[in-house]
Copies of this chain bind each other. A is one copy, B any other.
Amino acid sequence: MDKPFEPACVFSERAQQLTSSAIREILKVTERPEVISFAGGLPSPAGFPVEVVREAFDRVLSSNGRAALQYGPTEGYAPLREWVAQDLNRAGASVTADQILIVSGSQQGLDLLGKVLVDRDSKVLVEDPSYLGALQSFSLYQPRFAPVPTDDGGLIPEALTPELAEGGRFLYALPNFQNPTGRTLNRERREALVLRAAQLGLPIVEDDPYGELRYAGEPLPSLLSLGRECGANVIRLGSFSKVLAPGLRLGYIAADRGIIHKLVQAKQATDLHTPTLTQMAVYEMVKDGFLARHLPTVREIYRRQGRAMLEAVEREFPASASWTRPEGGMFLWVTLPSHIDSQQLLMQAIEQNVAFVPGGPFYAGTPSRNTLRLSFATVPEDRIQAGIAVLGKLIRQQA
C-alpha cells in the first residue's frame, strides 16, 4: 500500500521556541576524550558513595521490596519528607513535613513552579546572569523575564525596586555559589533581600543545589530561614544531586502548605510521583547521619579542585581579566577585557581541545559577551593546569 502522505505534527508555540541549550550542544563536542572540558556541570563522581548506595538499595529491596516497587503518594515518602523538614529546621528554618514535596531532581521543582505560578507573559524576576536550566524550564510557560542587576556580591537588593517587582510572580535566586558565577550573597544582602521581598509582596524561589558544598568561609542562613522572621514568602528548592549523586534524580521543594498543595496536584498530572524505591533507599542512607560523615569528603574534593583552578587562572590569565573566588560549589566566572567575545574564544579553544561555556546564554537581560563559566568539578588537576594554560595564552594574545 502506498503511503498517502506523511502527516506532520503541529507543535505548540512553546515547543517552537524550544531550542537545544548552548551547554548541551557544546557538551556534545566535548565528549571526545582528548577535550579538556570546563563546560559541564557534572559533579565529581569521586564523591559518589557507591557502596553506601548499593547497600541501601539492597536493604530496602530485601526488607520491604513490594512497598518499594508499588505506586506511592505524590507528596513523597513520608519518612523522607520528615527528614528533610528536620534537616532544614536544624539549619534555622521552621517547617513541617507537610510543607515538603519530594521531586525528581530540583530541575523538576523548577518545572512544577513554572506550571503553577507562571502564565503567558507573567513577569518572573531573575538574577542576571542566572542558571540557564531554570531560564529554559520557566520558558516553557512563556513568561517575560525581568533581569535583576548583580555585582561582585551577587544580586543587589536595592535594585529590587517597586517598579521592577510590580506584578512579578516571583524572584528566582541562587544565594550560594551561584550557577554560573560562583558568587555568594552575604548575610546583609540576604536580610535586605527577604525584607524587601516581604515589603513588596514578592515570593522568592531560593534554589540551593550547592549549599552543602561550602569549603571556605562561614555557612550563612538560608533565605527560607531568614524569610520567616520578616514574613517573606520563600519557596526553597533543594537537591540530593550534589551531596549524594545526581543520577538518582532526587530533590525537594519546601514551601507554605497552600503552594505545596497546588504543586502536588501539578506533580500528580506530571509524573504521579517520584520513584518509591529511590526515596526509600535515600532515606536509608541519610536517616542515621550519613551525610554529616560523608560531606567533609565531598567538600574536600571540591576545595582541592577549586583551588587548583584558581591557582592556574591566577598564573595564566592576564591582569586585564577578572574572576570570582567562590567559597564553594563548582563554578568560576571570568570577565575578559570587554573587546573579547567569549563565544569566539570558545571556537579557538575547541581547536586546541579545551572547552567552557560562554557567558551570554546565562543572561535574561543584555548579555555581557566577554564573560565565561569554568567548571572545576570533574577535571583532574594536571588537566586543569594544561587547559587553563591554553585559555590563558589565547586570552593574552587578544588582551
Chain B nearest CB from A110 CB (Å) reads 8
**Given that A246-B69, A249-B273, A265-B20 are contacting pairs, would A5 and B62 also be in contact in the complex, using a CB cutoff of 8 Å?**
no
- Is the pair B265, A12 in contact by a Cβ cutoff of 8 Å? no
- Asked whether any CB of chain B lies closer than 8 Å to the CB of A292, the reply is no
Asked whether any CB of chain B lies closer than 8 Å to the CB of A379, the reply is no
A107 and B272 contacting across the interface, CB-CB below 8 Å: yes
User: How far apart are the CA atoms of A203 and B274 in the complex, in Å?
Assistant: 30
Q: Is the CB of A111 within 8 A of B271?
A: yes
Segment at the B interface, from A86-94, A115-123, A321-329: A115-123
Verify B71–A42 contact, CB threshold 8 A: yes
* Chain A: interface size category: 35 or more
The digit string for A50-90, where 1 denotes a CB below 8 A from any CB of B, is 11011001100110011111111000000000000000000
A69 is contacted by which of B11, B115, B198, B248 (Cβ under 8 Å)? B248
A45 within 8 Å of B (CB atoms):
yes
Give the contacting residue for A5; candidates B115, B170, B231; CB below 8 A: B231
Report the bound CA distance from A277 to B18 in whole Å: 28
Q: Which of A134-142, A213-221, A348-356, A387-395 contacts B (4 or more CB under 8 A)?
A: A134-142
Least Cβ distance of A336 to chain B in Å?
28
Q: Can you sample 22 A-B contacts with CB below 8 Å?
A: A1-B230, A7-B197, A7-B203, A7-B232, A11-B262, A15-B262, A18-B116, A45-B66, A45-B69, A45-B70, A50-B65, A50-B69, A53-B61, A54-B65, A58-B58, A69-B245, A69-B247, A70-B247, A71-B246, A104-B271, A108-B271, A275-B278
Contacts of A20 in B (CB 8 A): 265, 268
Among A21, A61, A203, residue most surrounded by chain B Cβ atoms (within 10 Å): A61
Q: Indicate with 1 or 0, residue by residue over A190-229, a CB within 8 angstroms of chain B CB atoms.
A: 0000000111111100000000000000000000000001
At the interface, yes or no: A236 with Cβ under 8 Å from chain B?
no
Q: Which residues of B contact A202 (CB under 8 A)?
A: 7
CB-CB under 8 A from A4, the residues of chain B are: 198-199, 230-231
Closest B residue, CB atoms, query A21: B268
Q: How far is the CA of A278 from the CA of B57 in the complex (A)?
A: 11
With A42-B71, A70-B245, A71-B247 known as contacts, the answer to whether A269 contacts B104 (CB < 8 A) is no
Of B14, B62, B107, B275, the residue contacting A275 (CB under 8 A) is B275
**Complex contacts, A122 vs chain B, CB 8 Å:** 12
